[in-house]
A and B are shown apart, each in its own frame.
Chain A
Amino acid sequence: MAIDCLVLGAGQEVGKSCVVVSINGKRIMFDCGMHMGYTDHNRYPDFSLISKSGDFNNALSCIIITHFHLDHIGALPYFTEVCGYNGPIYMTYPTKALAPLMLEDYRKVMVGRGEEQQFTYENIIDCMKKVTAVDLKQNVQVDKDLQIRAYYAGHVLGAAMFYACVGDSAMVYTGDYNMTPDRHLGAAQIDRLQLDLLITESTYATTIRDSKYAREREFLKAVHKCVSNGGKVLIPTFALGRAQELCILLDDYWERMNLKVPIYFSAGLTIQANLYYKVLINWTSQKVKDTYATRNAFDFKNVHQFDRTLLDAPGPCVLFATPGMISGGFSLEVFKHWAPCESNLITLPGYCVAGTVGHKLMSGKPTKVDLDKDTQIDVRCQIHQLSFSPHTDAKGIMDLVKFLSPKHVILVHGEKPKMDLLKSRIKSELGIECFDPANTETVSFPSTHFIKSDASNAFIRSSLTPNFKFPKDEITDTPSLHVCDERVSEGILTMGKGQKVKVIHQDELVTMVGGGKTEVEFGYCFGLNLCSLKNVSKEVRVSNGDDSLLGVLNMKLSDEFGELGVRDCKGSLEVNSFRVRVCKNDDCPHRVDRDELSERLECVFFCCNWSILDKSIAWRVISVMKNMDL
């Protein structure tokens, strides 16, 4: 069995997140986003790669949406209502509540710009009807074999990482996440799971951010300074997320410092969003949850509804207004009024799209901003650039990968050159296999697959009883204390003809096989690199003949196991019951790690057999041999 990972979007880029993972026969689509940078067919993931026939219902087991950002959910109405997907869709409760707002908002903008409408308002409503909402850490059985579970991801309200397992293969898809908490949202939180695959975002694959306190301090200092000099502060924000974050920060500071200057929220979406936050309190940060019993942190004490007449009222104040990039709407109107006065302050979000007023203010220190051909605004106010980010930095990604220690990592949602750097760090520092496929590429690797088997009573009994030993480990120079509990390794997997697979205890074997003396032999066949064998002994010219190979081996083993006596018996070496010979049989039943080594040219295979009595000697010999191959 294998895991195949088809990247339809956000491969080496940010936008239209969409990854389809086949895991032990199940196919899950993680996120179904759109790319804001395109208006052509490139704006959506190439769904035809999932199914040529367009029969998505049979091709996919389910869709999982991590959060309400459009680059993660924007293509969903199109996929369900236009492409006709009817299968199950999962997202968290807040995402389900907030997604239609975001989608409708975006649809209106598209229509407003006179673009071709991709989906209608009814499409959005119908699409959301197909969604199953899930709670954090709730085990959801998608079908008989597929189980999924959401974990808190920070980032935005309702954002989640998703765990999915089919049988014994398990994976996590992170979506966007944040490893440091802010005021209103917590940090990502997940259990230490056994994973075959972790798919993580890598927006900031190389950035390492300093303490968030410094950013908060700068912001508060700027605002405080402005209002104490009688100035007005304009904070243009997006409706959800930053507005709440900054507002909690200010409200808290106001309270602590006993400030009386009014803080206003402009009417509209912000108020509505605050309502949502109040309702979805469980998804916010620990602090908000903690204080909830006494008061709701979103019931801002110092915040009032803004009245248009206050626009030119004298005296200091702080105002939150949408949209965030001052691209129009109320924040632009306020900007026109307040920008010309030196004592005022305007904060800018970390990122502004080119062409917006926000972007113009960010680039250089303009003294004038042209709004259109006829209108020009003098900018004399102070500008403060915010640098809050809801994404984890590189250290956070590394920390998460280290904590989960999955077998494989796939990076998405980032920029290619930076992802490459991160990829090599994950490989070198954590020793974990890592990939960063481009869009439409597929990555495959083996998954864990267990066989169901019966177990004998004796084995079950022995497994219940502690059975630890302190073996002396002489090969490595680790300290003398080493514990192992071998109760499981005392089991032996048997498969009689026409019978089920069964695990029995090693003591039972004799009785099972029947009277008389039965030798149980263990077999192990593995490859070694030829060059390294040659290196072992420089003075002897080694030809490729098997005998001389064994000769070299004999020398090495005699060094190590002289006291046991290494016997050279035609074509094989023996130590007690342990026997090693060169193996030419490519289908040897004892062969291990065939795939990896078959690619290496100069490789010789050695077949080892031993009886149970010499188990420890056997593994010592094998590790000596393997250590020659470095």
Chain B
Amino acid sequence: MEQKLLSNFEQICKNQTKISLKSFSIARTLLVNPSTSDQTISSILQNLETLSTAVSASNPQFYHLHVITLLCEISIVRRHFSPRITTILHSLSLHCPNITPRAAGLALSTSVSIYPASASNLVSAFSEGTEGLFLSLCFGSCVPVRQRLLSDVEIFNVRPSLLLTVLTGFTKDPYPYVRKAALDGLIGLCKCIVVEDRGMIEGCYLRAVELLFDTEECVRCSAVHMVSEWGKFLVANSEGKSKRDWSDALYVQLCSMVRDMSMNVKIEAFNALGKLGMTSEYILMQTLSKKVLPITKEKTLHGQLSRKHSNLPASSAAGAFIHGLEDEFHEVRSCACYSMRMPAILSAGFATGALGLLMDVLNDDSVVVRLQALETMHHMAVYGHLKVQEMHMHMFLGALIDMNSSIRLTARKVLRLTKLHDLILFKLVVDSLIQSLEKYPQDEMDALSLIFDIGRNHGSFAISIIKEFFPEVDPSSECNWDFNNSKTAAHLVLAISIPLSHGKQQQLDSIPSIIYSYAVTILGRISRSLTGVMNQDTLLAYLSHCSRSSGPHLIEFMKGEDKMVEDDVATKIDTQITCPVSVRLDVVHNNNDGDFEVHDNADNYIKFILANIVQVWPLVKFGCIHEVLTTLRSWKEELATFITDPSCQSNSHLTFTSQYLDVVKLLSKAWWHVMCPMDLICKESGNLGYILQKLENKLRELQHRFIGLSKEEELHIQELTHVASTLKSSIFDESAIKKLQFFSLKEIIFHENIKYMDAEVDVGDKYKYKYKYNDWLNPIPFVAGLPVGIPLKIRLHNVPIETKLWVKMTMYEKLREYVYVDLKQFEGCEKVREFTFMPPFHRTPKVNCFVLRVCVGMECLCEEEVDGFRGHGGPTHELVYLCKEKEVFLSMVGKKG
């Protein structure tokens, strides 16, 4: 069959006096069949080659197009024939000067797409001709060719300076699609060109502005895009006041396009608005009001080129977002919601105004739009700009009982970060959550965990609710209560959250502890919802603890759960925006029986983590910070289940890995803050500084608290330290970021003998105080003005004898004292050294009682000396602390009892 067709084809080709289109269709048939042999294709090419030269001599130009089209198709289907096709095309263009523009255009695009511009020497000779050919075809009178070539302009590798001129010229073309292609070309050019001439940038920008008024929709669309791209370029190339002026002008210019009648233009305009950073507050506020605000009146911005629209009144921005949010097309509405994110971050005032509008959008008929509105609110919340008021509540809480589960989920996500200002709001929220739970029991896990979170964030409100609720469940009352309903579950979770709340603990004793024993009856249900926070065993232990005591300072109980206490609100936001990891570590608990097995598993798990953490890093670079943090956290939690005794040999590895995870977590956060372009403002805020400070501390601990690190491990840590300090300097100097361009996390491989330096400190001395531990009821007596000895029982693990050890005693930030501990005085070996030590605290204040925070630290001798400590007789180098701070309670002598 193949042969038959081929001979048929050759037959027709030979008959050159009368070439019919049939030959091309035969060739095409052969070509589309994948089983056709290369040999056949080769002879087709052979025939086309002779045909093309023959055609040029005698036959109508019409056939050129077919020959070239076929060549183009062959080049796509059988790429290995490319060199040959290039040769044919080349000779064709040499020998046939009168080839039609369409054929020439196709030949040109085919040959450049075979070899991308920079491919080989053979082509570079060719590509010089390309430019000329490209230009002559563009300036020819054939409009379709012009449009086609301009649409693909980037493949022709024309010099940018020349291209800029040509494309700008074609924005004046009478044919709309040519104008559009020219604009699209210019948009691409903006990204790769280095323009020194400011006038040129301004000119291009204003040319695009002119085309915003084009009669054709497609041109206006591209013009909006171009105004946005070149506008940003222009702003970036401006300084000082002019920078502000241009960015304002750009914003208003784009706002004025949201009243276009075309959906596509509107979408393009909102997309562009969503990407703009710097804008004056008054303009942002004007976009939220259709009425012209007094401050906007009479204000005009940087003009435009044409006389007709010579000035741009700031009032053009009036109500831009209102119009967007009430647009007929849900595509436009959701774009408008999205584009409010940036200004909502930039300006708290805007965020407040926008919130009112967004709340109303929750009434939209389109799920997509409602979801987008909630996402934008969530965004506001992340940046601390979400100020929910009572008047918003009707709409907002309505979203909790929305039909659509994603809407409910997202509404809860927002609520998790919402600060509720009074008890009324808090009650409304809890009631709505319960109502939502009753309607949609499938949401229980997330809803209960939300109740837990808001309870922790609003402890005192939660207490009042529980007090009100308690009589309802009190078995002594007459009603027959069903413990298994949603309402009870919700309240019990709320009660559980209270002792763990961030706020003050003063009223804790007013919660009847019996409520916690009720909670045990639905343990499984609650535990499922709190998977992200604690596992079932912990929960049970916690509940039984709570039900026994009347519960002061229960947080201590949650040892190893430092993430619950450690994070302040700002950083908490990052970690808590995740859904609870539902598939958690039940496997681990099952394996927990034999020590040996655990050991084995632990090693494997460490290997797993260290191997995979390298893969996580690229995600940070892509900005998927939430995913990264969730992963890291779940790893760390799992890891924590293996750690039994930190001083034990195998546990040193675990501890190291766990701390290493902390470092990566902090590094990811810091990286995100610095690199995320949305985040211009956060950099200034203390947030980043705080994270970086913590990161440095952690890195220092890694470096100094582990003995026996290999060279590679030390280098690895040093590299991370360097990255951290570069991130820090980037706060003041943007260019520092460039240094980090090539950084990526390398894999770290463990060596055997790592030892973890650790200290345990207990207050009180069993001989003197007879096992009475120090607390509020049993303070250490002191006399104001006289030194007081603090009896400490210290147990050191893996601390070498030459270590310079200090006890730090802090009363408040400025008032702290250091006492040197000479290890040589004490018995014991490096592995474990236990002793009592009574450092004196000299500056006892004239108060009835006070609290000292005591901590044991080690001097890092290899680091630079720090001036701060000198003169107090304290350490001369930075300290690395070996234990957590311990509180010591002291009380004036004679006041006791």
A466 touches B261 (CB 8 A): no
User: Please, which residues of chain B bring their CB within 8 A of the CB of A253?
Assistant: 363
Given A181-B327, A465-B140, A482-B305, the answer on whether A395 and B319 have CB atoms closer than 8 Å is yes
User: Please, which residues of chain B bring their CB within 8 A of the CB of A465?
Assistant: 139-141
Q: Does B270 contact A (CB under 8 A)?
A: no
Binary contact readout A186-198 vs B (1 if CB under 8 angstroms, 0 otherwise): 1101111110000
The A325-362 residues at the B interface (CB cut-off 8 A) are: none
Bound: A50/B215 CA distance, A: 36
Given A181-B327, A403-B259, A466-B173, the answer on whether A210 and B140 have CB atoms closer than 8 Å is no
Q: Which residues of A does B touch, CB under 8 Å?
A: 180-181, 183, 186-187, 189-194, 208-214, 216-217, 220-221, 252-253, 255-258, 285-287, 290, 393, 395, 399, 402-403, 405, 429, 461, 464-466, 468, 470, 478-485
Q: Does B402 contact A (CB under 8 A)?
A: yes
User: Please, which residues of chain B bring their CB within 8 A of the CB of A464?
Assistant: 141, 143
Q: Does B113 contact A (CB under 8 A)?
A: no
- 8 pairs of residues in contact across A and B, judged by CB atoms under 8 Å: A208-B290, A253-B363, A256-B402, A256-B404, A258-B401, A287-B328, A481-B206, A485-B174
A483 touches B318 (CB 8 A): no
Residue of A nearest to B364 (CB): A213
Q: Select A211's contact among B141, B146, B305, B357, beta carbons within 8 Å.
A: B357
User: Please, which residues of chain B bring their CB within 8 A of the CB of A483?
Assistant: 168-169, 171-172, 207
User: Please, which residues of chain A bring their CB within 8 A of the CB of B534?
Assistant: none
Bound: A429/B168 CA distance, A: 30
Q: Does B394 contact A (CB under 8 A)?
A: yes
Binary contact readout B388-422 vs A (1 if CB under 8 angstroms, 0 otherwise): 00000011001001111000000000000000000
User: A625 to chain B: closest CB distance in Å?
Assistant: 17
Q: Does B360 contact A (CB under 8 A)?
A: yes
Q: Does B204 contact A (CB under 8 A)?
A: yes
A285 touches B363 (CB 8 A): no
Bound: A217/B290 CA distance, A: 19
Q: Select B169's contact among A208, A252, A480, A485, beta carbons within 8 Å.
A: A485
A286 touches B394 (CB 8 A): no
User: Please, which residues of chain A bring their CB within 8 A of the CB of B143?
Assistant: 464
User: B330 to chain A: closest CB distance in Å?
Assistant: 7
Chain A CB within 10 Å — which of B291, B328, B357 has the most? Answer: B328
User: Please, which residues of chain A bring their CB within 8 A of the CB of B404?
Assistant: 256
The B249-282 residues at the A interface (CB cut-off 8 A) are: 259-261
Q: Does B106 contact A (CB under 8 A)?
A: no
The B271-305 residues at the A interface (CB cut-off 8 A) are: 290-291, 305
B139 touches A211 (CB 8 A): no
Q: Does B14 contact A (CB under 8 A)?
A: no
Q: Which of B27-35, B154-162, B195-203, B454-462 contacts A (4 or more CB under 8 A)?
A: B195-203
B204 touches A468 (CB 8 A): no
Q: Select B330's contact among A180, A287, A399, A405, beta carbons within 8 Å.
A: A287
Given A211-B360, A481-B202, A481-B207, the answer on whether A468 and B169 have CB atoms closer than 8 Å is yes
B361 touches A255 (CB 8 A): no
Given A478-B305, A482-B305, the answer on whether A211 and B326 have CB atoms closer than 8 Å is yes
User: Please, which residues of chain B bring their CB within 8 A of the CB of A399?
Assistant: 259
Bound: A548/B646 CA distance, A: 105
B365 touches A213 (CB 8 A): no
A217 touches B291 (CB 8 A): no
Chain A CB within 10 Å — which of B146, B213, B318, B360 has the most? Answer: B360
A191 touches B363 (CB 8 A): no
Residue of B nearest to A212 (CB): B326
User: A285 to chain B: closest CB distance in Å?
Assistant: 6
User: B336 to chain A: closest CB distance in Å?
Assistant: 12
Residue of A nearest to B330 (CB): A287
Bound: A257/B363 CA distance, A: 10
Given A221-B394, A403-B259, the answer on whether A181 and B326 have CB atoms closer than 8 Å is yes
A480 touches B199 (CB 8 A): yes
A214 touches B360 (CB 8 A): yes
User: A90 to chain B: closest CB distance in Å?
Assistant: 23
Q: Select A481's contact among B199, B291, B323, beta carbons within 8 Å.
A: B199
Residue of B nearest to A487 (CB): B174
A180 touches B326 (CB 8 A): yes
Bound: A403/B215 CA distance, A: 10
Q: Does B322 contact A (CB under 8 A)?
A: yes
Residue of B nearest to A483 (CB): B172
A479 touches B199 (CB 8 A): yes
Given A211-B360, A258-B439, A466-B138, the answer on whether A189 and B261 have CB atoms closer than 8 Å is yes
User: B245 to chain A: closest CB distance in Å?
Assistant: 14
Residue of B nearest to A429 (CB): B313
Chain B CB within 10 Å — which of A189, A255, A286, A478 has the most? Answer: A478
B206 touches A479 (CB 8 A): yes
Given A395-B319, A465-B139, A466-B173, the answer on whether A213 and B363 have CB atoms closer than 8 Å is yes
The B156-201 residues at the A interface (CB cut-off 8 A) are: 165, 168-174, 199-200
Bound: A189/B261 CA distance, A: 6
User: A457 to chain B: closest CB distance in Å?
Assistant: 12
Bound: A297/B665 CA distance, A: 50
User: B88 to chain A: closest CB distance in Å?
Assistant: 30
A191 touches B325 (CB 8 A): no
The B426-467 residues at the A interface (CB cut-off 8 A) are: 439
Residue of A nearest to B202 (CB): A479
Given A181-B326, A212-B326, A213-B357, the answer on whether A403 and B291 have CB atoms closer than 8 Å is no
User: Please, which residues of chain A bring their CB within 8 A of the CB of B173?
Assistant: 466, 485
5 additional contacts (CB under 8 A) given A181-B326, A213-B326, A405-B213:
A216-B363, A479-B202, A481-B199, A481-B207, A482-B203
User: Please, which residues of chain A bring their CB within 8 A of the CB of B200?
Assistant: 480-481
Q: Does B366 contact A (CB under 8 A)?
A: yes
User: A207 to chain B: closest CB distance in Å?
Assistant: 10
A287 touches B394 (CB 8 A): no
Q: Does B869 contact A (CB under 8 A)?
A: no
Ordered nearest first, which 3 A-B pairs have the shortest CB separation?
A481-B203, A213-B360, A181-B328
User: A559 to chain B: closest CB distance in Å?
Assistant: 23
User: B250 to chain A: closest CB distance in Å?
Assistant: 15
Chain B CB within 10 Å — which of A194, A286, A483 has the most? Answer: A483
B261 touches A217 (CB 8 A): no
User: A481 to chain B: closest CB distance in Å?
Assistant: 2
User: Please, which residues of chain A bring their CB within 8 A of the CB of B326?
Assistant: 180-181, 211-213
The B352-366 residues at the A interface (CB cut-off 8 A) are: 357, 360-361, 363, 365-366
Chain B CB within 10 Å — which of A191, A213, A257 has the most? Answer: A213
User: Please, which residues of chain A bring their CB within 8 A of the CB of B395?
Assistant: 217
User: Please, which residues of chain B bring their CB within 8 A of the CB of A482?
Assistant: 203, 305
Q: Select A395's contact among B141, B318, B361, beta carbons within 8 Å.
A: B318
Residue of B nearest to A290 (CB): B330
Residue of A nearest to B370 (CB): A256
User: A240 to chain B: closest CB distance in Å?
Assistant: 20
User: Please, which residues of chain A bring their CB within 8 A of the CB of B313?
Assistant: 429
User: Please, which residues of chain B bring their CB within 8 A of the CB of A192?
Assistant: 214-215, 261
User: A224 to chain B: closest CB distance in Å?
Assistant: 8
Binary contact readout B690-718 vs A (1 if CB under 8 angstroms, 0 otherwise): 00000000000000000000000000000
A213 touches B398 (CB 8 A): no
User: Please, which residues of chain A bring their CB within 8 A of the CB of B207?
Assistant: 481, 483
Bound: A344/B463 CA distance, A: 38
A285 touches B361 (CB 8 A): no
Q: Does B329 contact A (CB under 8 A)?
A: yes
User: B214 to chain A: closest CB distance in Å?
Assistant: 8
User: B803 to chain A: closest CB distance in Å?
Assistant: 66
User: Please, which residues of chain A bring their CB within 8 A of the CB of B172?
Assistant: 468, 483-485
User: Please, which residues of chain B bring their CB within 8 A of the CB of A256?
Assistant: 398, 402-404
Bound: A213/B395 CA distance, A: 11
A187 touches B328 (CB 8 A): yes
Residue of A nearest to B259 (CB): A399
User: A209 to chain B: closest CB distance in Å?
Assistant: 7
A403 touches B328 (CB 8 A): no
User: B173 to chain A: closest CB distance in Å?
Assistant: 6
A479 touches B138 (CB 8 A): no
Bound: A181/B259 CA distance, A: 13
